[in-house]
Amino acid sequence: SSLFSDESHKVSYLMNEKNSSNWTIDETLSNEFGSIGFYMSQHPLKEYEDVLAQHKVKTFKEFETTNENECLLAGTIMSIKEKKTSKGNSFAIVKFSDLSKVFELFLFLEILEKNRKILVEGKSFLLTVIKDKENQENRFRRISVRKIINLEEITNINYSNVLIELDAVDNLNALYESIKQKGDSKIKISINKEDKNYLFELKDKRKFDYKTLKFLNREHYIKKIRV
């Protein structure tokens, strides 16, 4: 009962923390995980749904039930355990969580050393993973990370080339208002009218980052955006 009482106290603290209303979503989730070890509000990956869709990221549950040996996943770090091989080389077993389940991946020496500074509990990553070539028949065979990218970095970049598909010419003004700020992104717009497709490029480059992508993906007049 003391453990339950302790957890209840932590939850109560989070709910009543005076500064909590000023926290960003990232700060809220970080404080939740740091205090009670799980997320009360929402899973951190929910904030990145648009970028995950753009990269055609699969859930771990989808990956483990397919015959694919390599895949692009996303995950939020829950814990990191560093160990050594019989030869003395470091590797890590990292426990991740996505929107489907909790899973463990292996990070071997080269990947571990290259990314050690960014491997922090509560941070979310885009992961290129590969299944162990041995034990092909075993669906629980070891899965290791070939490449890892911080999702915050992806969402902070400006896209170089953007193709926006509109449903009608009438919505051009609404689109222009959303992307009128000058920037470094080359914008192409595609519109279908009377069974013909019209493709043109804006003369001036605009600012088009993840925030813009996320906003426009929720506008009814947008058919598709490719970055």
* pLDDT by 10s per residue, the chain, length 227: 444 444 444 444 444 444 545 545 555 545 555 554 555 567 889 889 988 998 899 999 999 888 888 999 999 998 899 999 888 999 999 999 998 888 999 999 999 999 999 999 889 999 999 987 765 554 446 889 999 999 999 888 889 999 999 988 889 999 999 999 999 999 999 998 878 889 999 999 999 998 999 999 999 999 999 98
Q: Is there a contact between 162 and 189 (Cβ–Cβ < 8 Å)?
A: no
Position 15 scores a pLDDT of 42
Q: Is there a contact between 44 and 77 (Cβ–Cβ < 8 Å)?
A: no
The rounded distance, in Å, linking the Cα atoms of 68 and 53 is 19
Enumerate the domain spans of the chain. Answer: 2-42, 47-156, 161-226
Of the CATH numbers 3.30.450.40, 2.40.50.140, 3.40.140.10, 3.90.780.10, which one belongs to the domain with range 47-156? 2.40.50.140
The rounded distance, in Å, linking the Cα atoms of 30 and 120 is 11
Closest to 191 measured CA to CA, from 212, 216, 162, 171:
171
Residue type, 68: E
